[in-house]
Structure 1
Amino acid sequence: MSAIVVFDFGGVLFDWNPSYLYESLLPDPAEREWFLREVCNPAWNIEQDRGRTIAEAVALKSAEYPAYAAQIAAFYARWPETLRGLLPEGMALFDALRAAGYPVFGLTNWSAETFPYAWEHYPFLHTLPDIVVSGREGLIKPDPAIYHLMYQRILRHHPAAKPADLYFIDDSAANAAGASAVGWHGIHHTSAANTAAILRAEGLIF
C-alpha cells in the first residue's frame, strides 16, 4: 500500500491569524496582545472547533469582558478578515504530493460555522476525497478519537490502508504527536521544505 498523506489546514495550507483582524480593531500592540492572550484566546477558540456555537461563545466571553463586547463579537462577525488566503509553500507541497499520485485527505480543527466560508472560497478543498472537520464531529486534535475517525473515513476509499501508511502534517507539535500515538507518522510542520525533507527521508517520491 502506498503512503497516504493527511493535511492539517491552518498554518500548513491556510494563512489564518486573528491578529490580521485586530491590528485595525485594537491598534495598540500591547492591548491587542493582551486581548488575544486573555480574551479571544486559543483556549476560547478551540471550543468552537470542538463544536460550541459561535453565539454561545460570544455571549459567554462578552459577559466576562463587557467592555470588549464589540471586539469579541467581531471575532466571528468579521472572521474572513482573519484568513489571508493560502500559504504558497504549503500548497506547493500539497500539489506535488498529489501530482505524484499520493492520496491526500484533510483533518482540521475548525469551527463548523466558519468552515463553509473556506469551502465556498477555496475550490481545491472540493477535490479531496474526505475532510474531517472537528466542529462537525464534536472532536478535536489531539484526541485519539478524531484520528480514529479520520482513519475510518480513509478506509472507505482505501480499504487496505494501515495506520502506518498514514503521514499527518500539522503545524502543532501536540497534534502531530497525537497522530504518532495512534500509529501514524506524525510530522510537525515548521516549514514546507522541512516537511518535504522528512517525507522524502521516509521514502516518499515526489
Structure 2
Amino acid sequence: MTPQAVIFDIGNVLIEWQPERFYDREIGEARRRALFAEVDLHGMNDKVDRGGHFTEVIYATAEDYPDWRAEIRMWHDRWIELATPVIDHSVRLMRALQAKGVPVFSLTNFGIQSFDYAATHYPFLRDFDRPYISGHMGVIKPEPRIYEMVEQDCGVAPGALLFTDDRADNIAMAASRGWQTHLFESPAGWANRLVAAGLLSEKEAA
C-alpha cells in the first residue's frame, strides 16, 4: 500500500540528540560517565517528555544531587547545545514530501517547554501538518497509547502510515500496530525508503 501520510520522529532524525557528546566535550568523558552512572538524566528527561515542566523537573533533580548541580542544570540552561545540529537532508525530505501534497506528521518524545524553545531555533518544527508531541499527550513512545492516540486523531488507517524513528523499540511498537516503518540510520537510507514507497523520485529525495 502506498503510504497516505509520513510520520517523522525528531531526535536523531531531524535534529541530532546526543547529550553524552555534549557532556564529554564540557566535562570530559570520565566525569560524564560518573555523572550518568549516578544520575538518571534520561529518566529525568522522560518526566519532561511526559509533560513535566522543563525547568522545574531539571532544577529539582539538580537539587537532589548537589555535587552535580551545575552539570545537571546544563541540561536545561544549555539545552539547545544538546539538540544540535539539524540533519539538513532529513528536513529537505520533509519539505519535498509536503511539496508533493503528502501529509507529514511528527511523533516525538519532547517536552512542552523544550519543544517551544527548540522551535525558536528550528522553525521547521512548526511546519508539520499534524504535530504529535508527547509532552502534550502525557505519554511517551514506545507505550502503545501514544500510537493509538495518533491513529484516533489523524484519520489515516494504520497500514497507510509510514513512520521513521531511530529507536528500534519505537519502530517495533508501530509495526505491531500495522504501521509501515523504517528504522532511521541515515538520511540517505530514509530517502531510499521514500523513493521505494513511491512518494518521491530519486531527484526529489536527493
Tell me by how many angstroms 1:22 deviates: 2.3
Q: Distance in 2 between matches of 1:22 and 1:66?
A: 17
Aligned to 1:196: 191
Counterpart of 2:84 in 1: which secondary structure?
strand
Give the TM-score normalised by structure 1: 0.85
Deviations 1:24-45 (A, max 9, x none): 541x211113323542532332
1:176 match? 171
| SS state at 1:84 partner | coil
Q: What's the TM-score once normalised by structure 2's chain length?
A: 0.85
- Report runs of 4+ in structure 1 exceeding 6 Å deviation: none
How many residues are paired up? Answer: 199
Describe the SS at the equivalent of 1:101: coil
From 140, 161, 166, the counterpart of 1:166: 161
User: Which residue in 1 is equivalent to 2:78?
Assistant: 78
Identity of aligned residues (%): 36
Name 2:139's counterpart in structure 1.
Answer: 139
User: Contact (CA 8 Å) 2:108, 2:133: kept in 1 or not?
Assistant: yes
Residue number in structure 1 paired with 2:34:
34
Over aligned residue pairs, what C-alpha RMSD do you find? 2.1
1:130 corresponds to which residue? 130
TM-superposed CA distance for 1:116, in Å, is 0.5
Report if the CA contact (8 A) 1:62-1:72 is conserved: no
SS of corresponding position for 2:47: helix
Instruction: Out of 32-41 and 136-145, give the one that drifted further.
Output: 32-41
- 1:158 maps to none
User: 1:205 & 1:19 partners in 2: Cα distance?
Assistant: 35
Q: Which moved more, 1:168-177 or 1:70-79?
A: 70-79
